Amino acid sequence: MTPPAECLPDTCRPVPSAWPLIDSERVLQVLVRNLDGMVFRCAIDAHWTLHFASDGVEALTGYRPDELEGNAVVSLEALIHPDDRASVREVIDEACRGVGRYRVKYRLQHRDGTDRWVLGRGAVVRDEQGERVLEGFIEDVTEQLTRQRLLADAELRYRSIFEDSVIGMFQTSIDGHYLAANRALADLYGYDSPEALIAGLSDIATRLYVDPTRREEFTTLIREHHRVADFESEVYRRDGSRIWIAENAHVVFGPDGQPLYYEGTVEDVTKQHGYRKQLEYQATHDPLTGLPNRNLLQDRLQQALRQAQRRGSRGALAFVDLDNFKFVNDSLGHGAGDRLLVEVARRLKASVRESDTVARYGGDEFVLILGDYEGLSDTLHILHRIQDVVGAPIALQGHQIHVNCSIGVSVFPDDGGDLEVLLRHADAAMHHAKTLGKGQFQFYTESLNVAARERLALDSALRQAIEQDGLHVVYQPKVGAHGQLYGFEALVRWDSEAFGSVSPARFIPLAEENGLIGHLTWFVLRHACHQAATWRAQGHGHLRVAVNISPSLFREKDLAALVQSVLDAAGLPPENLELEITEGMLMGDVQRALAVLKELKAMGVFIAIDDFGTGYSSLAYLKRFPIDILKVDRSFVMECDLGNEAVAITRAIVSLAHSLNLRVVAEGVETASQLAVLNALGCEEFQGYLFAKPLPGPEAAAFLDAAPAA
């Protein structure tokens, strides 16, 4: 029920209609009088005789309303351009016969003799006497049509330029696909038509540019500057061939200021790019050898210095001077000298990594930038290789020429932070090498020379010890918690006349670097197997001897056959041999590692993982391999009695190893408290100075006789 009006709040009271207060006739009169155009009523006759015309008719035709009404001066039909009269009458007649409404565009002839384009809109209606008449509105659209015509002409001219241009033209969306392309661009990219190009290059970034990041650089530049100029890129043509293009483009914005699309031009600049690259190459490379010259050397060294600073590493600059090059030039001629330089350049490049730089400094001088080499041994290795490859015979004009080189080395950033200083220091070191007899290398820093000489001497002494049987094997017992003996680990030792007792931590890495580690391993394996065979013959058939297998030996194709040959020569059954490998040797080529271990297991030898916990594997990973024994690394053993996380890690290793039926050996046991903790955790075997240090053969035999039965 609607409440009484007096009960309604003022804001809810109905507002009385305002229309009764408005003079609608006056509103219509003002509206008709002020419209830009002509409101009319006319008869449907041969002259379109006007009954009424609004004041706007004078601006439209040049005649006052009273001059047109009743055809007083001229009729409406006479004002219509003669060429348009028939079409106008046809449109209106159609309206009279049908819907009653019409819309027609035509020309009116102004009193001043000009033509005006108008738009007539009206309807067939009944007047006050019931007669059919036309009522409507005619407005001047001359300016509008002129603008449209100009726009159409401009678009036609643009389309003609776009389609017929010999320069590639395009429009692309913001997100990277073609909206429009002309014939020249299609031809440039190898497509049959612009339509085929648009369909084939649906993603410009990945389908057009050789370097997909170029599209991102393009959009970044155009976003920041609203245009790009001479933007050069290498692109794919449809057949997969490559060309270089230069793009000029700008962004087109909509009325709201938002970017709509990019448009621009493309030119093939492959030849220009090639010429420019050729000029750049000639400016930065030696024409004889093709190596970088002094100009490029400066840039390469700056890059190496920045990298060393960023990584906190070091690099070396080596100044290489050929010995006796003048003799070759004088005896065989400059042509032979040039061929010698080209061959030396090739050999030098083959001696270093791709990331290093070999430059020709001038004459018979070369400069090498060895970036990010890890320590003195790496640098010495590359210097030796350079001496070897340069000193190898070179065939020139039927002669075998031997040319050595003298090398001076400066280390950056220690010896300098720019090319001039480092070159000066390396050059001084090179001249010092020549004074020592040529064919040598010298470091600018004397301490490095001392270290280098010591390492070379150590290397030479180690080779001599291997050749002359100057090494010996010692045996460290592996026992139970109560001292019962399970076996020995065989370890190599070296007592040098020149260097005294050399630590394995010093000479084993050296053997790995210079390729002698395989000889060391076979030496230990042969001696250990013969010693174990002797113990077995003495009634100790349960003992196993453990030998470390080097990574390089593990990669040998016929490792199992080689081990079997050593066992056969010693007369030792495979079950008395235990081979120790590190977990890192199982990583990488897993399938090959698995195949090697299966071959060894098929022989009957035992497999142990040494130093477990320091690598990257896990026990779950090791499930795939036929492993028997796990040796806990000494770094965990040393701290296991301190109650920190080391004991937690050791506990986890032992527990998981037992879940995989692996026997656990703790190495590096030195105190009774460590033994107690490890025994409580479940380790079966122990190895360390608490029981015995590594023992020579006779002392190992005495230990064996004194040990309780296992």
Mean pLDDT of 292-308: 87
CA distance 654 to 663: 9
CB-CB contact of 37 with 56 (8 Å):
yes
Residue 21 pLDDT exceeds 80 = no
Residue 697 pLDDT exceeds 70 = yes
Residue 114 pLDDT exceeds 80 = yes
- Alpha-carbon dihedral sign for residues 666, 672, 673, 676: positive
Q: What is the pLDDT of residues 638-675, one digit of tens each?
A: 878 776 676 888 888 888 888 888 999 999 999 999 99
What's residue 374's pLDDT?
67
What's residue 164's pLDDT?
63
Contacts of 332 (CB under 8 A, 6+ apart): 396, 397, 399, 401
Q: Which residue has the higher pLDDT, 569 or 616?
A: 569
Contacts of 361 (CB under 8 A, 6+ apart): 294, 297, 319, 367, 423
Residue 45 pLDDT exceeds 90 = yes
Q: Is 333 left (phi over 0), alpha (psi -120 to 50) or beta?
A: left
Q: Which residue has the higher pLDDT, 274 or 134?
A: 134
Residue 591 pLDDT exceeds 90 = no
Q: What is the pLDDT of residues 499-542, one digit of tens each?
A: 889 999 888 888 886 778 888 999 999 999 999 999 999 989 89
Mean pLDDT of 372-383: 78
Residue 400 pLDDT exceeds 90 = no
Q: Which residue has the higher pLDDT, 220 or 281?
A: 220
Give which of 404, 408, 426 is closest to 416, Cα–Cα: 426
Residue 14 pLDDT exceeds 70 = no
Using DSSP's 3-state secondary structure scheme, residue 519 falls into helix
The distance from CA 665 to its chain's CA centroid, rounded to whole angstroms, is 45
Question: In percent, how much of the chain has pLDDT > 70?
Answer: 89
Give which of 635, 539, 626, 523 is closest to 581, Cα–Cα: 626
Residue 41 pLDDT exceeds 80 = yes
- Pure H helices in 111-212: 142-164, 183-189, 194-200, 204-207
Q: Which residue has the higher pLDDT, 377 or 534?
A: 534
Give which of 381, 313, 321 is closest to 352, Cα–Cα: 381
Mean pLDDT, the chain, integer: 86
The distance from CA 556 to its chain's CA centroid, rounded to whole angstroms, is 35
Give which of 681, 595, 591 is closest to 630, Cα–Cα: 681
What's residue 659's pLDDT?
86
Give which of 644, 694, 653, 686 is closest to 669, Cα–Cα: 686
Q: What is the pLDDT of residues 313-368, one digit of tens each?
A: 888 999 999 987 877 877 788 888 899 999 999 999 999 988 899 999 988 999 99
Give which of 531, 534, 519, 518 is closest to 490, Cα–Cα: 531
Mean pLDDT of 107-133: 92
* Model confidence band, residue 274 (pLDDT cutoffs 50, 70, 90): confident
* Model confidence band, residue 7 (pLDDT cutoffs 50, 70, 90): very low
CA distance 173 to 314: 49
DSSP 368-427: EEETT--HHHHHHHHHHHHHHHHHS-EEETTEEE---EEEEEEEETTT-SSHHHHHHHHH
Q: What is the pLDDT of residues 65-95, one digit of tens each?
A: 999 999 999 999 999 999 999 999 999 999 9
What's residue 148's pLDDT?
77
Which residue(s) pair with 118 in the sheet?
106, 140
Go through the chain and tell me how many residues it has.
Answer: 710
The structure tokens listed for 243 are: 């060309």
What's residue 616's pLDDT?
44
Which residue(s) pair with 358 in the sheet?
368
Mean pLDDT of 428-452: 78
CB-CB contact of 687 with 666 (8 Å):
yes
Question: In percent, how much of the chain has pLDDT > 90?
Answer: 46
554, amino acid identity: F
Q: Which residue has the higher pLDDT, 308 or 319?
A: 319
Q: How far apart, in Å, are the Cα atoms of 218 and each of 62, 364, 487?
A: 59, 46, 71
Which residue(s) pair with 259 in the sheet?
253
Dihedral Cα 621, 627, 633, 639, nearest 10 deg:
80
CB-CB contact of 119 with 142 (8 Å):
no
Give which of 170, 145, 178, 139 is closest to 59, Cα–Cα: 139
Contacts of 62 (CB under 8 A, 6+ apart): 110, 111, 112
Which residue(s) pair with 231 in the sheet?
247
Contacts of 613 (CB under 8 A, 6+ apart): 632, 633, 635, 636, 649, 653
Mean pLDDT of 251-256: 87
CA distance 116 to 138: 11
Q: Residue 413: is the preceding peptide bond cis (ω within 30°)?
A: yes
CB-CB contact of 289 with 364 (8 Å):
no
What's residue 457's pLDDT?
83
Contacts of 99 (CB under 8 A, 6+ apart): none
